[in-house]
Amino acid sequence: MERTVLHVAIDSFPIQAERFRCPKLRGRPVALAPENSPRPRVLAVSREAQAAGIRPGTPLVVARRLCRGLVALPPDHGLYAGVGEAILERLLPFAPVVEPAGGGLGGLGGFGGAAASGRFFLDLTGVTRTAAGPPEVS
């Protein structure tokens, strides 16, 4: 039997989790950077921050010069793990096997369990279609 695996990846997962917590961040340039570092570097960025030329690894001081309206936040490992676990729970009914992908969050390191990566694999092998197919167009 041919295997069917669905990969779910949430773009900029830690940024999306921050926006879930604080909706005022939506549409604004956001970067995550450690607050206890003498020379912090950006760990993750929103698309708006990327458009201003900021990439992971950019020194925070340079990022602030590139984008005057940048919102810099310290990473919240517990938040990302909690949101990832909530997503994992919501995916479980859809497949007999659901696994969070390993790895860190855009350079944020492996913390809070694999669900904190915002990436999941669903093994749909043998799962029958429960909804009708796409409608016929004539």
Q: What is the pLDDT of residue 129?
A: 63
Whether the predicted model's global pTM rises above the 0.75 cut: yes
The per-residue pLDDT for range 27-75, each reduced to its tens digit, is 999 999 999 899 999 999 999 999 999 999 999 999 999 999 999 999 9
Residue pair 120/88 in contact (Cβ under 8 Å)? The answer is yes
Per DSSP bridges, beta strands 97-100 and 71-73 are unpaired
pLDDT at 101: 85
pLDDT at residue number 137: 61
User: What is the model's pLDDT at position 132?
Assistant: 56
